[in-house]
Amino acid sequence: SNRTFTMIKPDAMKNGHAGVIIDRFIKEGYRIVALKATRLSAEKAGEFYAVHKERPFYGELVAFMSSGPIIAAILEKDNAVTAFRELIGATDPAKAAEGTIRKLYATSLGENAVHGSDSDENAKIEGDFFFNGLERI
């Protein structure tokens, strides 16, 4: 597929990085298919990250993701899922390559600035979690 799903997480929102991150998406050639500012309830954050339910960090992750506003978006580019995960860098910003979004803007492993879908299947599921048909262009 040529689409992926992303969130600008609460740390990047609070730290004033949302604009420069969206600018980077555009400069890297992604077309914005859908985009909105929203806030996840703890229940919705738990549902979104249900795959990590058994992990020790699940509670912390859900609390963080519901701690403030986020920006959710669907982005389009060739090979979007793989290319986008390369653009954001490793989960832990300390291990992320120079110039990646997490290296530049993330706070820590738990508060790592952005989300990127890990497969075409999940990109579709995650995009559908936030956006209906009328909200996509």
Closer to ligand GTP by CB, 76 or 133: give it. 76
Contacting residue, 35, 61, 72, 123, with ligand GTP by CB under 6 A: 61
The DSSP bridge partners found for residue 6 are 73, 116
Q: Is 91 annotated as a binding residue?
A: yes
115 is catalytic: yes
Kindly give, in sequence order, each residue whose CB lies less than 8 Å from that of residue 32, ignoring residues fewer than 6 positions away: 25, 26, 73, 74, 75, 76, 137
Number of chain residues interacting with ligand GTP (CB under 6 A)? 11
Asked whether position 135 contacts ligand GTP by CB under 6 A, the answer is no
Nearest to 6 by CA among 81, 116, 130: 116
Alpha carbon distance 106, 80 (integer Å) = 21
Looking at the DSSP assignment, which residues form a beta bridge with residue 4? 75
- Encoded one letter per residue, x for contact with ligand GTP by CB under 6 A and - for no contact, window 84-103 reads -------x------------
Partner in contact with 110, chosen from ligand GTP, Mg ion, none, beta carbon below 5 to 8 Å by kind: ligand GTP
If you compute the radius of gyration of the chain from its CA atoms, what whole number of angstroms results?
A: 14
**Residues at the contact surface with Mg ion, assessed by CB under 5 A:** 118
**Annotated catalytic sites, by residue?**
115
